C-alpha cells in the first residue's frame, strides 16, 4: 500500500512537560522546535507527499484566555520561524480549520506562508489549527446551503429537495484539495480515541495508537508506525 498522506494528532505535550517537572509549555515548544521539524525532514526522505499535524482543536478554547494567549505566542514563533525554515527547504504549507477565529497576526502569517510556499513540491505540510471534525462538517453544510440559496433555491428550511452527493460534499470540506489520510497516528499514552479529528476523511484510514508522547515521537517512531501500516489489509469494502 502506497502512503500518500499521514496525519498525526499531536497529543501528550503537557504530560511530557509535567513528567519532567518542567513548565507546561515546554512540551509544546519542544514539539514545534524539534519534533515536527524532524518528522517533516524524515517524511521528505521517505517521499511521503502529505503530512498533517493537528496543532489546535476547536475544543482547546475551553482552556481559557491565559492559556490561549500563551499558545498563540508559541504559534507565532512556529509559523514565523520553524515553518519558514521548512519553506526554504521546499515545503508547501496548507491549513485546515476555521482560521477566521484566530488572532489577526496569526492569520496574516498563515496567508503569507501559503503564498510563499504555493509552488513548493517536496512535501505538503498541513497544519490543522482551530480544527474540529464536527465543526468542519457543519461549516461544509452551511456552505452548501449558501451555495444553493445563491442559485435561487428556496430558503434553507425548504432545501429538502436538494440532493447532495459525496463528491459535492467533499468539495466544501477544508480538505477539498488534500487526499484522505492513509494512516492516522495518535501518540500519547495509548489514548484510543479520535477526539473529533478528521471524522469524514478517516473512514478508511488505518489507525495507529502509541504510548509515546508527541514530543518523543521521533522519526524512528514514525518508521514503526509505517511498518505496522504495511502489515494491515485495506480492502475498502472489496
In the numeric block, the cell 504510548 is attached to: 211
Catalytic residues: 11, 60
Q: Rounded distance, CA 89 to CA 120, Å?
A: 9
Please state, as a whole number, how many other Cβ atoms lie within 10 Å of the Cβ of residue 29: 17
Which residues, in sequence order, are bridge partners of residue 185? 8, 208
Q: What region, left, alpha or beta, does residue 189 occupy, with left being phi > 0 and alpha being psi -120 to 50 degrees?
A: left
Amino acid at each position: 500500500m502506497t502512503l500518500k498522506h499521514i496525519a498525526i494528532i499531536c497529543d501528550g505535550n503537557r504530560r511530557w512537560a509535567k513528567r519532567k517537572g518542567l513548565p507546561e509549555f515546554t512540551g509544546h515548544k519542544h514539539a514545534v522546535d524539534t519534533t515536527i521539524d524532524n518528522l517533516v525532514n524524515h517524511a521528505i526522505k521517505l517521499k511521503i507527499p502529505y503530512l498533517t499535524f493537528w496543532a489546535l482543536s476547536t475544543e482547546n478554547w475551553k482552556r481559557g484566555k491565559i492559556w490561549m494567549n500563551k499558545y498563540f505566542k508559541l504559534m507565532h514563533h512556529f509559523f514565523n520561524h520553524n515553518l519558514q525554515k521548512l519553506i526554504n527547504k521546499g515545503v508547501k504549507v496548507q491549513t485546515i480549520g476555521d482560521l477566521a477565529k484566530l488572532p489577526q497576526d496569526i492569520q496574516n502569517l498563515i496567508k503569507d506562508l501559503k503564498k510563499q510556499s504555493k509552488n513548493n513540491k517536496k512535501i505538503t505540510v498541513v497544519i490543522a489549527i482551530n480544527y474540529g471534525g464536527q465543526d468542519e462538517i457543519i461549516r461544509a453544510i452551511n456552505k452548501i446551503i449558501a451555495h444553493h440559496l445563491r442559485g435561487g433555491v428556496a430558503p434553507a428550511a425548504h432545501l429538502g429537495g436538494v440532493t447532495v452527493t459525496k463528491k459535492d460534499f467533499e468539495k466544501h470540506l477544508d480538505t477539498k484539495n488534500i487526499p484522505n489520510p492513509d494512516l492516522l497516528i495518535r501518540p500519547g499514552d495509548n489514548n484510543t480515541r479520535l477526539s473529533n479529528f478528521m471524522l469524514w476523511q478517516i473512514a478508511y484510514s488505518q489507525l495507529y495508537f502509541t504510548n509515546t508522547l508527541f514530543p518523543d515521537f521521533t522519526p524512528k517512531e514514525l518508521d514503526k508506525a509505517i511498518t505496522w501500516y504495511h502489515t494491515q489489509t485495506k480492502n475498502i469494502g472489496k
